[in-house]
Copies of this chain bind each other. A is one copy, B any other.
Amino acid sequence: MNKNVNIKNVIIDKPLKLDCGQTINNYSLAYETYGSLNENKDNAILIFHALTGDQFVSGINPITKKEGWWSYAVGSGKAIDTDKYFVICANVIGGCMGSFGPSDINPDTNKKYGTTFPVITINDMVNAQFNLLNFFNIDKLFAVMGGSMGGMQTLQFVNNFPDKAKVAIPIACTASHSAQNIAFNELGRQSIMADANWENGDYSNQNKNPNKGLSVARMAAHITYLSKNGLQEKFGRKLQERDDLKFGFDADFQIESYLRYQGSVFVDRFDANSYLYITRAMDYFDLIKEHHGNLSKAFEKTKTKFLIISFTSDWLYPTSENKEIVIALNAIGADVGFVEIESDKGHDSFLLKVPKFLNTLGDYIKTAYSKN
């Protein structure tokens, strides 16, 4: 992380008991806001980011100098209209963009935590971010929402704080991380831990970086974010700058150089240990088990209105898993809408310019707010 960039943060001076048993206090939450909180304080939207996201939802990310991860959805006149709503997003704890994470210095040892950082859960992330309501002096959010791991946090938020959001929009997510999801995350972790520069998690104290391992982890994850058909249409078997096969191990196909590029730019903005901790939090997520097999119990105390959105070509968090949430909500007569968006862009659809998705999201938010 470039330390010359001004990262807004709040120090939370309220103890938080983590699921692992440890208690943290005076920890940092790095955040961004977009738009303004109105006088009634009823227009606030808390957005939760995904595994490799951060608080820089829209506009230019000051670290990467690229557009924020949800720039298609969030901004003036967009689905999440910053002329109307006050948007808040914080970096998750365990992250590497200014919130309390494994690359922070442990005051007890004066060394970076590395893997001595406590293992955190989605529940911990959400409980930490709940403090933002107090910080911004908001009693009740208009909405909570997010895609992928952001959707898991959305579900967990309503479970933990049933009367703190009018609307919840979990997108392309699941109520319980599947064996295949765990398998892909474990693959990424093993790739990082296989890098000789990982040094049992102590690399940053030794001025090393397990960049090769982290890059391979990103490549693996990236494949899962795209659909088979989408990859075929975008890349197929197109060759790199040449007409013929090179008969070697350089990137011959465009898909190869694309993946290598995705890996190489990722290591510039992300911390390997954060990748371990956040994937672990996702793997531990199981709102169904938390309620002894009955997901409806997670929502029975809430009047929050739900919109669940899935994408046809998302094979990481397929429609079937999103529907489980819909079924659990319907079973208790909750106010729930469900839309499966036709898209060939795979799990990444929620981050991309998919008009049907952005229109659905925008229309729902507009209508829900008008009934506020």
| Residues of chain A in range 226-267 having any CB-CB distance to chain B below 8 Å | 226, 228, 231-232, 234-237, 245, 247-249, 251-253, 255-256, 259-260, 263
For the complex formed, measure the closest distance between the CB of A177 and the CB atoms of chain B, giving whole angstroms.
7
Q: Is A303 an interface residue (CB 8 A)?
A: no
Contact of A237 among B182, B187, B234 (CB under 8 A): B182
Residues in chain B near residue A9, CB distance under 8 A:
none
- Whether A118 contacts B249 in the complex (CB less than 8 A), given A190-B219, A232-B179, comes out as no
Residues in chain B near residue A315, CB distance under 8 A:
228, 315
Whether the pair A249, B280 counts as a contact (CB closer than 8 A) is yes
1/0 per residue, CB under 8 A from B, across A109-122: the answer is: 00000010011000
- Size class of A's contact patch? 35 or more
- Give the complex CA separation of A353 and B283 in angstroms: 31
Whether the pair B179, A255 counts as a contact (CB closer than 8 A) is yes
Whether the pair B190, A253 counts as a contact (CB closer than 8 A) is no
Residues in chain B near residue A213, CB distance under 8 A:
194
Q: Is A148 an interface residue (CB 8 A)?
A: no
Contact of A223 among B118, B184, B232, B248 (CB under 8 A): B184
- Whether A194 contacts B179 in the complex (CB less than 8 A), given A186-B259, A247-B118, comes out as no
Residues in chain B near residue A283, CB distance under 8 A:
252-253
Whether the pair B191, A231 counts as a contact (CB closer than 8 A) is no
1/0 per residue, CB under 8 A from B, across A155-178: the answer is: 000000000000000000000111
- Give the complex CA separation of A280 and B253 in angstroms: 11
Residues in chain B near residue A249, CB distance under 8 A:
115, 119, 189, 193, 276, 280
For the complex formed, measure the closest distance between the CB of A255 and the CB atoms of chain B, giving whole angstroms.
5
Residues in chain B near residue A194, CB distance under 8 A:
191, 194-195, 212-213, 215-216
Q: How many copies does the complex hold?
A: 2
Q: Is A83 an interface residue (CB 8 A)?
A: no
Whether the pair A237, B286 counts as a contact (CB closer than 8 A) is yes
Whether the pair A196, B193 counts as a contact (CB closer than 8 A) is no
Q: Is A367 an interface residue (CB 8 A)?
A: no
For the complex formed, measure the closest distance between the CB of A67 and the CB atoms of chain B, giving whole angstroms.
25
- Give the complex CA separation of A19 and B244 in angstroms: 12
Q: What are 10 contact pairs spanning A and B, CB under 8 A?
A: A179-B255, A180-B226, A182-B237, A182-B253, A183-B255, A186-B256, A187-B216, A191-B191, A237-B286, A249-B276
Which A residues are within 8 Å of any B CB, using their own CB?
A: 19-21, 115, 118-119, 176-180, 182-184, 186-187, 189-191, 193-196, 212-213, 215-216, 219-220, 223, 226, 228, 231-232, 234-237, 245, 247-249, 251-253, 255-256, 259-260, 263, 276, 280, 283-284, 286, 289, 315, 318
Sample of 15 further A-B pairs with CB below 8 A, known A179-B228, A179-B253, A180-B231 = A119-B249, A176-B237, A177-B237, A179-B234, A183-B223, A183-B259, A186-B219, A186-B251, A186-B255, A186-B256, A190-B263, A191-B216, A194-B194, A194-B195, A194-B212
